[in-house]
Structure 1
Amino acid sequence: MAGGRNAREILGRMENVGRPQGCGLKEDLAVVDEARTVTFVGAQGLVLAADEWGSGAEGSVLLLHGGGQTRHSWKAAGAALAAEGRHVVALDLRGHGDSQWSPDADYDITFFRDDLLAVLTQVATPAILVGASLGGITALLATADRPDLVERLVLVDIATRLEADGVERIHAFMHSAPNGFASLEEAADAVADYLPHRDRPRRPEGLRKNLRLRDGRWYWHWDPRLFSSERRVAPEHAQATLDAAARAVEAPTLLLAGGQSDVLSDEGVEHLRTVIPHVEVRVLGEAAHTAAADDNDAFTAAVADFIRTA
């Protein structure tokens, strides 16, 4: 990856980052590093949970996780980007994490887009959108619909043309434990099988942020209706919709591609160049589809570099 510093180096620069005159507060590293949990109101009045860092002196950055993930998937990125003078919001998408589940199972991509557009009216705009997988598709559609609200767009291992086998592997994992897990260790084993390129954590306690204990078993903390088969869209229809949105994107755009991804191929990257000709592409060689978590330092440094050119 060209240029950049890792997340710890970026955080280390925080002592030299202050708010402009009139804001009256210069945050120290400890304050920036600590997330504040807040809520936003999304489409249909759904309450969406989020973590936020920083004051927003340089504008807002919204982090939008992938399907089946939560706002915790960004690791150190939130605090590091706040150290760049940004107000950073890591959102739990509807049906995920601590955000409300849709009573009517409204999980069409247009509802995720409308949630994001609603949140954008509650933060300083234009904002920088950073989206992985489902979050990236959401960010792409919102950018096309309301370009006035978006300063820059970062797509994390997602484009308009995806590899069917990789997408199917994701869906298979989402459906793999309908009855939950007997222990955190059993859940950690399932994650290790799904993400063989990562080292298995020695302690599985970190999974508590993604699981909830019910009746003695651990369940993924997302609405299982999110991934029901009847919600699957034909790939050709999905690509046509996303291509149309991509062609409307005028904001500076960065694609961070996982070098080991089975979802985004070289062909998918080249196709994205045809619909967003101004896209900048960086490859995170040690990362797969879950790029932000696979190589958090490289991911954070690449996003920080892109933001600095704004």
Structure 2
Amino acid sequence: MDSSNLSSLPEESLEEELEQPSKRSEAPLPTAYASVPLRSPSQSSPQKYSPLDWSGYFDEEKDVSIPDSNDVFHVYMAGTEGPVVFCLHGGGYSGLSFALSTSKIKEKARVVALDLRGHGKSSTENDLDLSVETMCNDVLAVVKEMYGESPPAIVLVGHSMGGSVAVHVAAKKILSTLAGLVVVDVVEGTAMASLIHMQKILSSRMQHFSSIEKAIEWTVKGGALRNIDSARVSIPPTLKYDDSKKCYVYRAQLEETEQYWRGWYEGLSEKFLSCPVPKLLLLAGTDRLDSSKGMELARPLTIGQMQGKFQMVVVRHTGHAIQEDAPEEFVTLILNFISRNRIGPHGVEIPGLRRPLQS
């Protein structure tokens, strides 16, 4: 799960975090939930934390209605040429988690960022059904509604919980034009080991905000996101105004979806390795693979990486949401992945993208 996002699973328990505030200030946990500020946000300049509109990054937004249901999914779109980089956010986040990255990716490829059910502006018959199977079907239904039976080349990019959904979609081998899979900062071993702490972390985070600006400030100062501009565009859709409480609360009710958490990550390594497309795993730290927690579950990935079954890149000096904290590096990695694997609108290399030299 994540902070407005879900996949950012904590690597240590909340107790350890709170007992070592000095350690936390030096290297905040990658999960938004574990980054509990020790004091309330100060009276900073509200302009510094004022919301930014999606239109500064995407070209358009629209609702995609699914036939024979009351489900309506919100998507943000950008770009006119190249393959479609189809982005799935983490638990508690929204499609705008990819906003800053999109402003650059759209120069070489198309981008679609989906608000998963229970998140952002999407509305479904059951917003609490966050089973991986249901979310997979949602993604496939949206792709079909948008592109019909002949979709363009698609690169699935999933962060945290969205990374799990992306893997499960790819493993189904239903998307005929799936050309690549990018998983951002989620590994089965550490994710599974962290699940026992999630309810405590969710309940310990700040629950109410007097304004959207305060929520943005809290998110940045708490260490959940390190890029203020990204927080200014991505945090607003993760909130909703509660008329009864006269304040902003979280849009996603993650604490009520615990029955589905294990299903997001169980068996994820083997499913990832089974996907028959080029694969890229982006990690915010090597502990995701070599932590003593979940070491046995991480072994298949370690072996697979040594055998060259996928590319792995460790992105330093960033939190859990790599695409938000380090958008420029994230864009470079995505575009190089597309170029290296000659992924284009019809399986051809994109003009203007030079293939990196093979080491």
Q: Same fold (TM over 0.5)?
A: yes
The corresponding residue for 2:154 is 127
The corresponding residue for 1:96 is 119
The two structures have a TM-score, normalised by structure 1, of 0.75
The corresponding residue for 1:182 is 210
The corresponding residue for 2:42 is none
Change (3 A) 1:109 1:298: same
RMSD: 3.2
Unpaired stretches in structure 1, ≥5 consecutive residues = 1-30
Q: Please give the residue correspondences for 1:282-297 in structure 2 after superposition, counting only pairs within 5 Å.
A: 282-297=313-328
1:195 CA drift (Å): 2.0
The corresponding residue for 1:23 is none
CA deviations over 1:13-44 (Å, ceiling 9, x no partner): xxxxxxxxxxxxxxxxxx99542001224595
Change (3 A) 1:163 1:207: closer
Identity, in percent, stands at 23
Cα distance in 2 for residues equivalent to 1:135 and 1:281 = 18
CA deviations over 1:178-228 (Å, ceiling 9, x no partner): 852233454345424642673778x97874333222222011222x1x432
Unpaired stretches in structure 2, ≥5 consecutive residues = 1-54, 343-359
Q: Please give the residue correspondences for 1:1-80 in structure 2 after superposition, counting only pairs within 5 Å.
A: 33-42=57-66, 44-55=69-80, 57-80=81-104
Pick the aligned partner of 1:301 from 301, 325, 332: 332
Letter in 1 for 2:249: Y
The corresponding residue for 2:247 is 217
The corresponding residue for 2:223 is 195
2:187 is paired with a residue whose SS is coil
Letter in 1 for 2:139: L
1:153 CA drift (Å): 0.3
The corresponding residue for 2:284 is 258
1:301 CA drift (Å): 1.2
The two structures have a TM-score, normalised by structure 2, of 0.65
Change (3 A) 1:89 1:239: closer
2:156 is paired with a residue whose SS is strand
1:172 CA drift (Å): 4.2
Cα distance in 2 for residues equivalent to 1:172 and 1:101 = 27
Pick the aligned partner of 1:156 from 165, 169, 184: 184
2:319 is paired with a residue whose SS is coil
Cα distance in 2 for residues equivalent to 1:185 and 1:165 = 34
1:165 CA drift (Å): 6.1
Q: Does the CA-based 8 Å contact 1:35-1:79 persist in structure 2?
A: no
The corresponding residue for 1:115 is 138
Q: Does the CA-based 8 Å contact 1:62-1:129 persist in structure 2?
A: yes
